[in-house]
Amino acid sequence: MELQISKAITEAWFAKLHNHLDSEVIIVGAGPSGLLCAAELSARKIKTTLIESKLAPGGGMWGGAMLFNTIVIQAQAIHILDKYSIRYQESGDGLYTVDAAEATAALIYHAAHNGAAIFTGIAMEDVLVKDDSVCGVVANWTPVKRLDMHVDPLSFTSRYVLDATGHPCEVINVLTAKNGVKLNLPSGKMIANAR
């Protein structure tokens, strides 16, 4: 039985990997923005791969504020909650409270259910650039990257790469640091890294 379980896991996971080594869109970062983007793109039958360095998708959304797993949404985003059947309560001043676990789980469910492939525990190391266009990412297991182990990564190719890593801006920082890309900002790079 143990062997059958191991075979079932590895066969299903490697089939997903092989099917998504080449995608229409790669999203780096599975926080709320990455999950929502993956849900929307995959609902439109756009082949979408979501890469998350942590064990679970959702980013900081799980913790809400100070580990109170409640988040606050402005009125302008209520249509998103309605679309994904996420319950909310009015809090006043155009603010609404939402259970963080429900909201995060709903976005994960819809992204996966719509067909996006979600890979967790995998960190982006580099970007693939061809003819002055980003055409994919180079990735490795998160522990391999964090421990600075000399293990060759894999390449994921795509027509588009979206940076949904939040504050770290990992894709953008690699482009500016390694590829000489200048952003249309006074410093030419991300403000947080302009020191």
What is the extent of the structural domain holding 112?
20-193
Mean pLDDT over each residue of the chain, to the nearest integer: 93
Strands (E), 87-172: 89-92, 95-99, 117-120, 122-130, 133-141, 154-163
Q: In Å, what is the CA distance from 8 to each residue of 20, 21, 68, 120, 133?
A: 19, 20, 37, 18, 38
Residue at 14 is within a domain: no
- The stretch 166-180 carries a mean pLDDT of 84
Residue 6 belongs to a domain: no
Report the alpha-carbon distance of residue 5 to residue 7 in Å, rounded.
Answer: 5
Q: Confidence class of residue 185 from pLDDT cuts 50, 70 and 90?
A: confident
Tell me what pLDDT residue 191 has.
64
Percent of the chain with pLDDT over 70: 96
CATH of the domain at 31: 3.50.50.60
Using one digit for the tens of pLDDT, what is the confidence trace for 85-111?
999 999 999 999 999 999 999 999 999
Task: With a cut of 60, say whether residue 39 has pLDDT above it.
Answer: yes
Is there a domain that residue 1 lies in? no
Residue 114 lies in a domain: yes
Residue 167 has pLDDT above 90, yes or no: no
Q: Is there a domain that residue 62 lies in?
A: yes
Which residue has better confidence, 9 or 172? 9
Distance CA 139, CA 170 (A): 12
61 pLDDT more than 80: yes
Is residue 88 included in any domain, yes or no? yes
Mean pLDDT to the nearest integer, 161-177: 89
Examine residue 4 and state whether it is found in any structural domain, yes or no.
no
In a domain, 66, yes or no: yes
Q: What is the pTM of this model?
A: 0.91
In the chain, how many domains are there?
A: 1
